[in-house]
Chain A
Amino acid sequence: MQLLNTFLIGLTAGAIYALMAIAFVLVWRSTRVVNFAQAGMALLSTYFGYEAVSRLGSFWIALPVAMIGGALFAALVEFTLMRLLVKHASSGPIAGVAPIIATLGLLGVIKSVVTMIWGGQDLVIVAPISNNGFKINETTTLVFSPLKLFILVVVLILLIILTILFQKTNLGLALRASAHAPEIARLSGIRVDAVRTLGWALAGAAGAVAGLFQTVNGNGNFSPDSTEFSLLLVSGFIAAVIGGLDSLLGAVLGGLFLGIAISFVLMYVSSGLFFIAPFVILLLVLFLRPQGIIGVKVGRRA
Protein backbone atom coordinates (compact mmCIF):
# COMPACT_ATOMS: atom_id res chain seq x y z
CA MET A 1 0.00 0.00 0.00
CA GLN A 2 2.84 2.33 0.87
CA LEU A 3 4.43 1.49 -2.44
CA LEU A 4 1.24 2.42 -4.33
CA ASN A 5 0.84 5.60 -2.30
CA THR A 6 4.41 6.67 -2.99
CA PHE A 7 3.94 6.00 -6.67
CA LEU A 8 0.66 7.93 -6.96
CA ILE A 9 1.96 10.94 -5.00
CA GLY A 10 5.02 10.97 -7.25
CA LEU A 11 2.89 10.62 -10.36
CA THR A 12 0.77 13.66 -9.43
CA ALA A 13 3.77 15.80 -8.53
CA GLY A 14 5.43 14.58 -11.72
CA ALA A 15 2.44 15.60 -13.83
CA ILE A 16 2.79 19.15 -12.49
CA TYR A 17 6.56 19.13 -13.14
CA ALA A 18 5.77 17.87 -16.63
CA LEU A 19 3.61 20.96 -17.30
CA MET A 20 6.42 23.20 -16.11
CA ALA A 21 8.92 21.23 -18.20
CA ILE A 22 6.66 21.68 -21.24
CA ALA A 23 6.79 25.43 -20.62
CA PHE A 24 10.61 25.34 -20.60
CA VAL A 25 10.70 23.22 -23.77
CA LEU A 26 8.22 25.43 -25.66
CA VAL A 27 10.32 28.52 -24.94
CA TRP A 28 13.58 26.74 -25.68
CA ARG A 29 12.29 25.38 -28.99
CA SER A 30 10.91 28.70 -30.15
CA THR A 31 13.71 31.06 -29.10
CA ARG A 32 16.62 28.93 -27.77
CA VAL A 33 16.34 30.65 -24.40
CA VAL A 34 16.19 28.93 -21.01
CA ASN A 35 13.48 30.99 -19.36
CA PHE A 36 14.25 31.13 -15.64
CA ALA A 37 11.45 33.68 -15.29
CA GLN A 38 9.04 30.79 -15.95
CA ALA A 39 8.55 30.33 -12.18
CA GLY A 40 7.84 34.05 -11.82
CA MET A 41 5.32 33.87 -14.65
CA ALA A 42 3.66 30.87 -13.00
CA LEU A 43 3.60 32.83 -9.73
CA LEU A 44 2.02 35.86 -11.36
CA SER A 45 -0.55 33.63 -13.09
CA THR A 46 -1.36 32.04 -9.74
CA TYR A 47 -2.12 35.53 -8.40
CA PHE A 48 -4.35 36.09 -11.45
CA GLY A 49 -6.09 32.85 -10.50
CA TYR A 50 -6.33 33.97 -6.87
CA GLU A 51 -8.02 37.22 -7.96
CA ALA A 52 -10.47 35.26 -10.10
CA VAL A 53 -11.29 32.92 -7.20
CA SER A 54 -11.81 35.74 -4.71
CA ARG A 55 -13.89 37.90 -7.07
CA LEU A 56 -15.90 35.23 -8.88
CA GLY A 57 -15.75 32.53 -6.26
CA SER A 58 -14.93 29.70 -8.60
CA PHE A 59 -11.75 27.72 -9.18
CA TRP A 60 -13.19 26.56 -12.49
CA ILE A 61 -13.13 30.12 -13.80
CA ALA A 62 -9.78 30.80 -12.13
CA LEU A 63 -8.05 28.07 -14.14
CA PRO A 64 -8.76 29.55 -17.60
CA VAL A 65 -8.25 33.10 -16.27
CA ALA A 66 -4.78 32.15 -15.01
CA MET A 67 -3.98 30.41 -18.30
CA ILE A 68 -5.05 33.35 -20.46
CA GLY A 69 -3.34 35.85 -18.15
CA GLY A 70 -0.16 33.77 -18.14
CA ALA A 71 -0.23 33.39 -21.92
CA LEU A 72 -0.71 37.12 -22.52
CA PHE A 73 2.04 38.07 -20.09
CA ALA A 74 4.51 35.60 -21.61
CA ALA A 75 3.65 36.82 -25.10
CA LEU A 76 4.22 40.40 -23.97
CA VAL A 77 7.64 39.51 -22.51
CA GLU A 78 8.69 37.84 -25.76
CA PHE A 79 7.30 40.59 -27.93
CA THR A 80 8.97 43.44 -26.04
CA LEU A 81 11.92 42.45 -23.86
CA MET A 82 13.21 39.36 -25.67
CA ARG A 83 12.97 40.78 -29.19
CA LEU A 84 14.71 43.96 -28.12
CA LEU A 85 17.48 41.97 -26.45
CA VAL A 86 18.05 39.65 -29.37
CA LYS A 87 18.15 42.62 -31.72
CA HIS A 88 20.64 44.65 -29.68
CA ALA A 89 22.82 41.87 -28.31
CA SER A 90 23.02 39.68 -31.39
CA SER A 91 26.80 39.75 -31.54
CA GLY A 92 29.68 39.91 -29.11
CA PRO A 93 30.81 37.60 -26.33
CA ILE A 94 27.62 37.79 -24.27
CA ALA A 95 25.14 37.42 -27.15
CA GLY A 96 24.31 33.83 -26.21
CA VAL A 97 23.83 34.36 -22.49
CA ALA A 98 22.31 37.86 -22.40
CA PRO A 99 18.71 36.68 -22.88
CA ILE A 100 19.12 33.99 -20.21
CA ILE A 101 20.53 36.49 -17.71
CA ALA A 102 17.64 38.77 -18.61
CA THR A 103 15.16 36.04 -17.66
CA LEU A 104 16.87 35.75 -14.25
CA GLY A 105 16.50 39.50 -13.84
CA LEU A 106 12.89 39.29 -14.92
CA LEU A 107 12.26 36.62 -12.29
CA GLY A 108 13.42 39.10 -9.63
CA VAL A 109 11.36 41.92 -11.11
CA ILE A 110 8.18 39.82 -11.20
CA LYS A 111 8.65 38.76 -7.57
CA SER A 112 9.16 42.37 -6.46
CA VAL A 113 6.17 43.66 -8.40
CA VAL A 114 3.96 40.86 -7.13
CA THR A 115 5.07 41.67 -3.56
CA MET A 116 4.26 45.35 -4.11
CA ILE A 117 0.77 44.59 -5.42
CA TRP A 118 -0.34 41.66 -3.24
CA GLY A 119 2.10 41.90 -0.31
CA GLY A 120 4.55 39.27 0.87
CA GLN A 121 2.19 37.38 3.18
CA ASP A 122 0.71 33.96 2.45
CA LEU A 123 -2.51 33.93 0.45
CA VAL A 124 -4.73 30.88 0.12
CA ILE A 125 -6.45 29.23 -2.82
CA VAL A 126 -8.83 26.57 -1.58
CA ALA A 127 -8.84 23.38 -3.59
CA PRO A 128 -12.10 22.91 -5.49
CA ILE A 129 -12.37 19.26 -4.54
CA SER A 130 -11.26 17.20 -1.59
CA ASN A 131 -7.59 16.44 -1.07
CA ASN A 132 -8.50 13.72 1.46
CA GLY A 133 -7.46 10.32 0.21
CA PHE A 134 -9.84 7.76 -1.27
CA LYS A 135 -11.08 5.25 1.29
CA ILE A 136 -10.42 1.67 0.22
CA ASN A 137 -12.21 0.16 3.24
CA GLU A 138 -12.84 1.01 6.89
CA THR A 139 -9.20 0.72 7.87
CA THR A 140 -7.22 1.72 4.78
CA THR A 141 -7.15 5.12 3.15
CA LEU A 142 -5.01 6.03 0.16
CA VAL A 143 -3.04 9.26 0.15
CA PHE A 144 -4.25 9.58 -3.43
CA SER A 145 -7.23 11.96 -3.41
CA PRO A 146 -9.98 13.17 -5.73
CA LEU A 147 -7.96 16.38 -6.18
CA LYS A 148 -4.88 14.46 -7.27
CA LEU A 149 -6.99 12.41 -9.68
CA PHE A 150 -8.45 15.64 -11.04
CA ILE A 151 -4.95 17.09 -11.54
CA LEU A 152 -3.85 13.98 -13.43
CA VAL A 153 -6.94 14.10 -15.64
CA VAL A 154 -6.50 17.80 -16.48
CA VAL A 155 -2.81 17.34 -17.28
CA LEU A 156 -3.69 14.38 -19.50
CA ILE A 157 -6.35 16.43 -21.33
CA LEU A 158 -3.90 19.30 -21.84
CA LEU A 159 -1.29 16.87 -23.19
CA ILE A 160 -3.82 15.44 -25.65
CA ILE A 161 -4.78 18.95 -26.80
CA LEU A 162 -1.11 19.91 -27.21
CA THR A 163 -0.36 16.71 -29.12
CA ILE A 164 -3.24 17.30 -31.52
CA LEU A 165 -2.19 20.93 -31.92
CA PHE A 166 1.41 20.02 -32.71
CA GLN A 167 0.90 16.88 -34.79
CA LYS A 168 -2.37 17.45 -36.62
CA THR A 169 -2.73 21.16 -37.39
CA ASN A 170 -1.01 23.59 -39.73
CA LEU A 171 -0.25 25.79 -36.74
CA GLY A 172 1.55 22.86 -35.11
CA LEU A 173 3.51 22.25 -38.32
CA ALA A 174 4.50 25.93 -38.33
CA LEU A 175 5.58 25.69 -34.67
CA ARG A 176 7.70 22.61 -35.33
CA ALA A 177 9.22 23.92 -38.56
CA SER A 178 10.13 27.23 -36.91
CA ALA A 179 11.74 25.36 -34.00
CA HIS A 180 13.86 23.03 -36.14
CA ALA A 181 14.73 25.24 -39.12
CA PRO A 182 13.64 28.88 -38.87
CA GLU A 183 15.13 29.78 -42.25
CA ILE A 184 13.27 27.05 -44.13
CA ALA A 185 10.13 28.03 -42.22
CA ARG A 186 10.49 31.65 -43.39
CA LEU A 187 11.09 30.52 -46.97
CA SER A 188 7.85 28.57 -46.68
CA GLY A 189 5.99 31.73 -45.81
CA ILE A 190 5.75 31.27 -42.04
CA ARG A 191 5.98 34.44 -39.92
CA VAL A 192 8.55 32.96 -37.56
CA ASP A 193 8.46 36.02 -35.26
CA ALA A 194 4.74 35.55 -34.63
CA VAL A 195 5.22 31.82 -34.14
CA ARG A 196 7.87 32.55 -31.47
CA THR A 197 5.47 34.78 -29.58
CA LEU A 198 2.87 32.03 -29.77
CA GLY A 199 5.40 29.52 -28.38
CA TRP A 200 5.95 31.77 -25.37
CA ALA A 201 2.21 32.23 -24.91
CA LEU A 202 1.62 28.46 -24.85
CA ALA A 203 4.46 28.16 -22.33
CA GLY A 204 2.85 30.89 -20.20
CA ALA A 205 -0.44 29.01 -20.18
CA ALA A 206 1.20 25.68 -19.28
CA GLY A 207 3.19 27.39 -16.49
CA ALA A 208 0.00 28.98 -15.15
CA VAL A 209 -1.68 25.59 -14.75
CA ALA A 210 1.48 24.24 -13.11
CA GLY A 211 1.49 27.17 -10.64
CA LEU A 212 -2.16 26.77 -9.66
CA PHE A 213 -1.89 22.99 -9.30
CA GLN A 214 1.36 23.18 -7.34
CA THR A 215 -0.43 25.52 -4.93
CA VAL A 216 -3.62 23.51 -4.41
CA ASN A 217 -1.75 20.20 -4.39
CA GLY A 218 0.33 21.58 -1.50
CA ASN A 219 -1.47 23.25 1.39
CA GLY A 220 -3.09 25.94 -0.74
CA ASN A 221 -0.85 28.67 0.65
CA PHE A 222 1.40 30.67 -1.61
CA SER A 223 3.50 33.83 -1.48
CA PRO A 224 6.20 35.45 -3.63
CA ASP A 225 8.80 33.48 -1.66
CA SER A 226 7.02 30.11 -1.56
CA THR A 227 9.37 27.16 -1.59
CA GLU A 228 6.64 25.54 -3.72
CA PHE A 229 7.58 27.83 -6.60
CA SER A 230 11.32 27.37 -6.17
CA LEU A 231 10.70 23.64 -6.26
CA LEU A 232 8.55 24.05 -9.35
CA LEU A 233 11.31 26.02 -11.09
CA VAL A 234 14.05 23.54 -10.20
CA SER A 235 12.02 20.42 -10.91
CA GLY A 236 10.45 21.73 -14.09
CA PHE A 237 13.85 22.73 -15.46
CA ILE A 238 15.48 19.47 -14.47
CA ALA A 239 12.59 17.49 -15.97
CA ALA A 240 13.01 19.42 -19.22
CA VAL A 241 16.76 18.72 -19.28
CA ILE A 242 16.25 15.04 -18.50
CA GLY A 243 13.84 14.94 -21.42
CA GLY A 244 16.41 16.43 -23.78
CA LEU A 245 15.12 20.06 -23.62
CA ASP A 246 13.91 19.87 -27.21
CA SER A 247 11.13 17.33 -26.95
CA LEU A 248 7.62 17.74 -25.58
CA LEU A 249 7.31 14.00 -25.07
CA GLY A 250 10.68 14.08 -23.31
CA ALA A 251 9.44 16.85 -21.01
CA VAL A 252 6.40 14.78 -20.02
CA LEU A 253 8.43 11.62 -19.41
CA GLY A 254 11.11 13.64 -17.61
CA GLY A 255 8.51 15.23 -15.34
CA LEU A 256 6.80 11.96 -14.45
CA PHE A 257 10.12 10.19 -13.96
CA LEU A 258 11.42 12.96 -11.72
CA GLY A 259 8.21 13.18 -9.67
CA ILE A 260 8.11 9.45 -9.03
CA ALA A 261 11.86 9.22 -8.34
CA ILE A 262 11.74 12.09 -5.83
CA SER A 263 8.70 10.57 -4.14
CA PHE A 264 10.53 7.27 -3.65
CA VAL A 265 13.71 8.93 -2.40
CA LEU A 266 11.75 10.97 0.15
CA MET A 267 9.81 7.93 1.34
CA TYR A 268 12.50 5.28 1.40
CA VAL A 269 15.77 7.19 1.86
CA SER A 270 15.17 10.39 3.77
CA SER A 271 12.53 13.11 3.70
CA GLY A 272 15.30 15.66 4.33
CA LEU A 273 16.51 15.27 0.74
CA PHE A 274 13.70 17.47 -0.56
CA PHE A 275 15.88 19.88 -2.52
CA ILE A 276 18.91 17.68 -3.10
CA ALA A 277 17.10 14.73 -4.68
CA PRO A 278 16.22 16.48 -7.99
CA PHE A 279 19.84 17.55 -8.48
CA VAL A 280 21.24 14.11 -7.74
CA ILE A 281 18.75 12.60 -10.19
CA LEU A 282 19.74 15.21 -12.79
CA LEU A 283 23.44 14.40 -12.37
CA LEU A 284 22.80 10.67 -12.62
CA VAL A 285 20.81 11.09 -15.82
CA LEU A 286 23.41 13.42 -17.33
CA PHE A 287 26.19 10.93 -16.55
CA LEU A 288 24.31 7.91 -17.84
CA ARG A 289 22.40 9.44 -20.77
CA PRO A 290 23.82 12.86 -21.66
CA GLN A 291 21.39 13.21 -24.58
CA GLY A 292 18.41 13.00 -22.18
CA ILE A 293 16.13 10.04 -21.72
CA ILE A 294 14.65 10.15 -25.20
CA GLY A 295 17.12 12.48 -26.94
CA VAL A 296 18.91 11.19 -30.00
CA LYS A 297 22.66 11.37 -30.35
CA VAL A 298 22.90 12.69 -33.89
CA GLY A 299 24.15 16.26 -34.24
CA ARG A 300 21.46 18.76 -35.03
CA ARG A 301 21.88 21.47 -37.60
CA ALA A 302 22.00 24.97 -36.23
Chain B
Amino acid sequence: MSLNVSNLTVHHGAICAVNQVSLAVPTGTLAAIIGSNGAGKTTLLRALSGLNKPTSGVVNWMGETITGVKPEKLVRKGISHVSEGKSVIPELTVRENLELGAIWRKNSREMKVSLDQVVTIFPRLGERISQRSDTLSGGERQMLAIGRAIMSKPKLLLLDEPSLGLAPLVVEQIFQTIKDLTIQMGLTVVLVEQNAMGALKIANLGIVLNLGKVVAVDHAQALIQDPAVRAAYLGY
Protein backbone atom coordinates (compact mmCIF):
# COMPACT_ATOMS: atom_id res chain seq x y z
CA MET B 1 0.00 0.00 0.00
CA SER B 2 1.48 3.35 -0.91
CA LEU B 3 -1.10 5.60 0.73
CA ASN B 4 -2.57 4.53 4.04
CA VAL B 5 -5.00 6.63 6.03
CA SER B 6 -6.19 5.45 9.40
CA ASN B 7 -8.84 6.99 11.63
CA LEU B 8 -8.31 10.46 10.19
CA THR B 9 -10.47 13.17 11.77
CA VAL B 10 -10.46 16.81 10.64
CA HIS B 11 -12.40 19.69 12.20
CA HIS B 12 -13.40 23.07 10.80
CA GLY B 13 -13.82 24.95 14.05
CA ALA B 14 -16.50 22.99 15.90
CA ILE B 15 -17.70 21.08 12.85
CA CYS B 16 -16.31 17.62 12.27
CA ALA B 17 -15.80 17.54 8.49
CA VAL B 18 -13.92 14.25 8.27
CA ASN B 19 -14.80 11.62 10.85
CA GLN B 20 -12.53 8.60 11.54
CA VAL B 21 -11.75 7.96 7.90
CA SER B 22 -9.57 4.98 7.02
CA LEU B 23 -8.58 4.04 3.50
CA ALA B 24 -5.77 2.37 1.59
CA VAL B 25 -4.70 3.17 -1.96
CA PRO B 26 -2.17 0.79 -3.58
CA THR B 27 0.57 2.13 -5.87
CA GLY B 28 -0.62 2.76 -9.42
CA THR B 29 -4.27 2.92 -8.39
CA LEU B 30 -6.69 5.58 -9.49
CA ALA B 31 -9.03 6.02 -6.51
CA ALA B 32 -12.21 8.06 -6.90
CA ILE B 33 -13.76 9.62 -3.80
CA ILE B 34 -17.37 10.49 -4.48
CA GLY B 35 -20.12 11.91 -2.34
CA SER B 36 -22.54 14.82 -2.18
CA ASN B 37 -21.73 18.41 -1.39
CA GLY B 38 -20.45 18.77 2.16
CA ALA B 39 -19.50 15.11 2.52
CA GLY B 40 -15.96 16.12 3.48
CA LYS B 41 -14.22 15.18 0.23
CA THR B 42 -12.28 18.40 -0.19
CA THR B 43 -11.33 18.55 3.50
CA LEU B 44 -10.03 14.98 3.33
CA LEU B 45 -7.92 15.79 0.29
CA ARG B 46 -6.58 18.97 1.89
CA ALA B 47 -5.59 16.98 4.96
CA LEU B 48 -3.66 14.55 2.75
CA SER B 49 -1.66 17.36 1.13
CA GLY B 50 -1.03 19.18 4.41
CA LEU B 51 -3.27 22.19 3.75
CA ASN B 52 -5.61 21.21 6.60
CA LYS B 53 -4.30 19.99 9.93
CA PRO B 54 -6.01 16.79 11.12
CA THR B 55 -7.32 16.60 14.68
CA SER B 56 -6.35 12.97 15.02
CA GLY B 57 -5.43 9.93 12.96
CA VAL B 58 -2.46 9.00 10.81
CA VAL B 59 -1.56 9.51 7.17
CA ASN B 60 1.17 7.21 5.91
CA TRP B 61 2.83 7.62 2.51
CA MET B 62 5.33 5.02 1.26
CA GLY B 63 5.96 3.80 4.77
CA GLU B 64 6.51 7.29 6.20
CA THR B 65 4.11 9.07 8.55
CA ILE B 66 3.25 12.44 6.98
CA THR B 67 0.37 13.53 9.24
CA GLY B 68 0.39 17.32 9.59
CA VAL B 69 3.48 17.81 7.41
CA LYS B 70 3.35 21.10 5.48
CA PRO B 71 2.41 21.02 1.75
CA GLU B 72 5.69 22.67 0.70
CA LYS B 73 7.52 19.69 2.22
CA LEU B 74 5.14 17.06 0.83
CA VAL B 75 5.75 18.25 -2.75
CA ARG B 76 9.35 17.19 -2.23
CA LYS B 77 8.12 13.72 -1.26
CA GLY B 78 6.20 13.36 -4.52
CA ILE B 79 2.74 14.50 -3.43
CA SER B 80 1.08 17.01 -5.73
CA HIS B 81 -2.28 18.59 -5.05
CA VAL B 82 -4.44 20.34 -7.65
CA SER B 83 -6.87 22.27 -5.49
CA GLU B 84 -10.49 23.00 -6.29
CA GLY B 85 -11.51 25.54 -8.92
CA LYS B 86 -8.95 25.61 -11.75
CA SER B 87 -6.02 26.32 -9.54
CA VAL B 88 -3.85 28.46 -11.77
CA ILE B 89 -2.50 31.93 -11.05
CA PRO B 90 -4.24 34.25 -13.53
CA GLU B 91 -1.61 36.99 -13.23
CA LEU B 92 1.13 34.66 -14.49
CA THR B 93 1.71 33.37 -18.00
CA VAL B 94 1.12 29.74 -18.94
CA ARG B 95 4.88 29.13 -18.92
CA GLU B 96 5.28 30.73 -15.47
CA ASN B 97 2.44 28.67 -14.04
CA LEU B 98 4.12 25.53 -15.32
CA GLU B 99 7.60 26.56 -14.14
CA LEU B 100 6.11 27.15 -10.72
CA GLY B 101 5.47 23.41 -10.42
CA ALA B 102 9.16 22.64 -10.86
CA ILE B 103 10.51 25.60 -8.90
CA TRP B 104 11.46 23.57 -5.82
CA ARG B 105 13.69 21.30 -7.89
CA LYS B 106 16.08 24.23 -8.52
CA ASN B 107 17.34 22.60 -11.69
CA SER B 108 16.67 24.48 -14.91
CA ARG B 109 17.61 21.53 -17.14
CA GLU B 110 15.09 19.23 -15.48
CA MET B 111 12.58 22.06 -15.62
CA LYS B 112 12.99 22.24 -19.38
CA VAL B 113 12.59 18.47 -19.78
CA SER B 114 9.38 18.49 -17.72
CA LEU B 115 8.09 21.50 -19.64
CA ASP B 116 8.56 19.68 -22.94
CA GLN B 117 6.83 16.64 -21.46
CA VAL B 118 3.79 18.64 -20.34
CA VAL B 119 3.55 20.43 -23.68
CA THR B 120 3.58 17.05 -25.41
CA ILE B 121 0.70 15.89 -23.21
CA PHE B 122 -1.21 19.17 -23.60
CA PRO B 123 -0.31 20.69 -27.02
CA ARG B 124 -2.86 23.47 -26.40
CA LEU B 125 -0.71 24.76 -23.54
CA GLY B 126 2.26 24.82 -25.89
CA GLU B 127 0.34 27.02 -28.31
CA ARG B 128 -0.56 29.45 -25.53
CA ILE B 129 2.72 29.24 -23.61
CA SER B 130 3.39 33.01 -23.49
CA GLN B 131 -0.18 34.12 -22.82
CA ARG B 132 -1.42 35.20 -19.43
CA SER B 133 -3.35 32.29 -18.03
CA ASP B 134 -6.53 34.33 -17.47
CA THR B 135 -6.94 34.28 -21.26
CA LEU B 136 -7.41 30.49 -21.24
CA SER B 137 -10.72 28.65 -21.42
CA GLY B 138 -11.92 26.66 -18.40
CA GLY B 139 -10.74 23.36 -19.85
CA GLU B 140 -7.34 24.80 -20.71
CA ARG B 141 -6.97 26.15 -17.18
CA GLN B 142 -7.67 22.72 -15.77
CA MET B 143 -5.05 21.27 -18.13
CA LEU B 144 -2.64 23.95 -16.90
CA ALA B 145 -3.37 23.13 -13.26
CA ILE B 146 -2.72 19.44 -13.88
CA GLY B 147 0.32 20.33 -15.99
CA ARG B 148 1.75 22.32 -13.09
CA ALA B 149 1.30 19.33 -10.80
CA ILE B 150 3.10 17.08 -13.29
CA MET B 151 5.98 19.57 -13.43
CA SER B 152 6.75 18.70 -9.82
CA LYS B 153 7.31 15.03 -10.74
CA PRO B 154 4.59 13.57 -8.54
CA LYS B 155 4.16 9.99 -7.47
CA LEU B 156 0.84 10.73 -5.80
CA LEU B 157 -1.55 13.11 -7.53
CA LEU B 158 -4.44 14.60 -5.54
CA LEU B 159 -7.14 16.07 -7.78
CA ASP B 160 -10.02 18.13 -6.40
CA GLU B 161 -13.06 18.34 -8.71
CA PRO B 162 -11.23 18.72 -12.02
CA SER B 163 -14.57 18.57 -13.87
CA LEU B 164 -16.08 21.53 -11.98
CA GLY B 165 -17.73 24.06 -14.28
CA LEU B 166 -16.57 22.46 -17.52
CA ALA B 167 -18.60 21.56 -20.59
CA PRO B 168 -19.48 17.81 -20.83
CA LEU B 169 -17.19 17.21 -23.81
CA VAL B 170 -14.27 18.87 -22.02
CA VAL B 171 -15.01 16.87 -18.85
CA GLU B 172 -14.70 13.68 -20.87
CA GLN B 173 -11.32 14.79 -22.25
CA ILE B 174 -10.00 15.72 -18.81
CA PHE B 175 -11.08 12.39 -17.32
CA GLN B 176 -9.47 10.50 -20.21
CA THR B 177 -6.25 12.46 -19.71
CA ILE B 178 -6.22 11.65 -16.00
CA LYS B 179 -6.64 7.96 -16.76
CA ASP B 180 -3.87 8.04 -19.38
CA LEU B 181 -1.51 9.88 -17.06
CA THR B 182 -2.09 7.38 -14.28
CA ILE B 183 -1.11 4.51 -16.52
CA GLN B 184 1.70 6.15 -18.50
CA MET B 185 3.44 7.76 -15.54
CA GLY B 186 2.68 5.00 -13.03
CA LEU B 187 0.99 7.50 -10.76
CA THR B 188 -1.14 6.88 -7.75
CA VAL B 189 -4.16 9.18 -8.00
CA VAL B 190 -6.82 10.25 -5.53
CA LEU B 191 -9.60 11.94 -7.45
CA VAL B 192 -12.34 13.79 -5.57
CA GLU B 193 -15.46 14.30 -7.72
CA GLN B 194 -19.10 15.34 -7.63
CA ASN B 195 -19.39 13.87 -11.10
CA ALA B 196 -19.59 10.36 -9.63
CA MET B 197 -20.27 8.48 -12.85
CA GLY B 198 -17.42 10.11 -14.77
CA ALA B 199 -14.99 9.50 -11.95
CA LEU B 200 -15.98 5.87 -11.30
CA LYS B 201 -15.76 5.05 -15.00
CA ILE B 202 -12.01 5.80 -15.10
CA ALA B 203 -11.17 4.70 -11.55
CA ASN B 204 -9.97 1.35 -10.22
CA LEU B 205 -11.09 1.96 -6.68
CA GLY B 206 -14.23 3.77 -5.55
CA ILE B 207 -14.78 5.32 -2.14
CA VAL B 208 -18.09 6.84 -1.08
CA LEU B 209 -18.02 9.53 1.58
CA ASN B 210 -21.11 10.73 3.43
CA LEU B 211 -21.18 13.26 6.29
CA GLY B 212 -17.46 12.83 6.83
CA LYS B 213 -17.52 9.01 6.97
CA VAL B 214 -16.59 6.31 4.52
CA VAL B 215 -19.81 4.48 3.73
CA ALA B 216 -18.64 2.24 0.88
CA VAL B 217 -15.33 1.04 -0.60
CA ASP B 218 -15.15 -1.27 -3.59
CA HIS B 219 -13.86 -1.73 -7.10
CA ALA B 220 -15.11 1.25 -9.08
CA GLN B 221 -16.95 -1.03 -11.53
CA ALA B 222 -18.71 -2.80 -8.68
CA LEU B 223 -19.84 0.51 -7.19
CA ILE B 224 -21.35 1.54 -10.52
CA GLN B 225 -23.46 -1.65 -10.35
CA ASP B 226 -24.39 -1.18 -6.68
CA PRO B 227 -28.12 -0.29 -6.49
CA ALA B 228 -27.72 1.90 -3.38
CA VAL B 229 -24.83 3.88 -4.91
CA ARG B 230 -26.71 4.17 -8.18
CA ALA B 231 -29.78 5.57 -6.48
CA ALA B 232 -27.92 8.00 -4.25
CA TYR B 233 -25.06 9.25 -6.44
CA LEU B 234 -25.53 8.19 -10.04
CA GLY B 235 -29.13 9.29 -10.30
CA TYR B 236 -30.71 6.15 -11.77
Chain A: residues with CB nearer than 8 A to chain B?
170, 173-174, 176-177, 180-181, 183-192, 298, 301
Contact = CB atoms under 8 A, between A and B. Distances in A.
Given A170-B103, A170-B106, A184 B83 contact: yes
A183 B71 CA distance: 9
B96 A188 contact: no
A176 B103 contact: no
Contact of A188 (B51, B100, B106, B134): B100
A176 B75 contact: no
Interface in B70-113: 70-72, 75-76, 80-81, 83, 87-92, 96, 99-101, 103-104, 106
Closest 6 CB pairs of A and B: A189-B104, A189-B75, A188-B100, A181-B89, A186-B71, A180-B91
Nearest to A170: B103
A173 B100 contact: yes
A24 B81 CA distance: 33
Contact of A190 (B72, B83, B96, B134): B72
A176 B152 contact: no
A190 B76 CA distance: 10
Contacts of B75: 187-189
Contacts of B106: 170
Contacts of A185: 100
A20 B134 CA distance: 30
A137 to B, nearest CB: 51
A188 B91 contact: no
Contacts of B83: 183-184, 187
Contacts of B29: none
Given A170-B99, A186-B51, 6 more contacts: A176-B91, A177-B92, A184-B100, A188-B148, A190-B72, A301-B90
Nearest to A171: B103
B9 interface: no
Contacts of B99: 170, 173
A177 B101 CA distance: 11
B104 A188 contact: yes
B103 A186 contact: no
Contacts of B89: 176-177, 180-181, 184
B103 A184 contact: no
B72 A192 contact: yes
15 contacts: A170-B103, A173-B100, A176-B92, A180-B89, A180-B91, A181-B87, A181-B89, A184-B87, A184-B89, A187-B75, A187-B81, A188-B103, A188-B148, A189-B75, A189-B103
Given A176-B92, A180-B92, A181-B89, A186 B100 contact: no
B80 A173 contact: no
A180 B134 CA distance: 13
A190 B91 contact: no
Contact of A191 (B72, B80, B87, B152): B72
Contacts of B80: 187
Contacts of A191: 72
Contact of A173 (B70, B90, B96): B96
B49 interface: yes
B51 A183 contact: yes
Contact of A177 (B49, B70, B100, B134): B100
Contacts of A174: 103
A197 to B, nearest CB: 15
Contact of B70 (A180, A184, A186, A301): A186
Contacts of A189: 72, 75-76, 103-104, 152
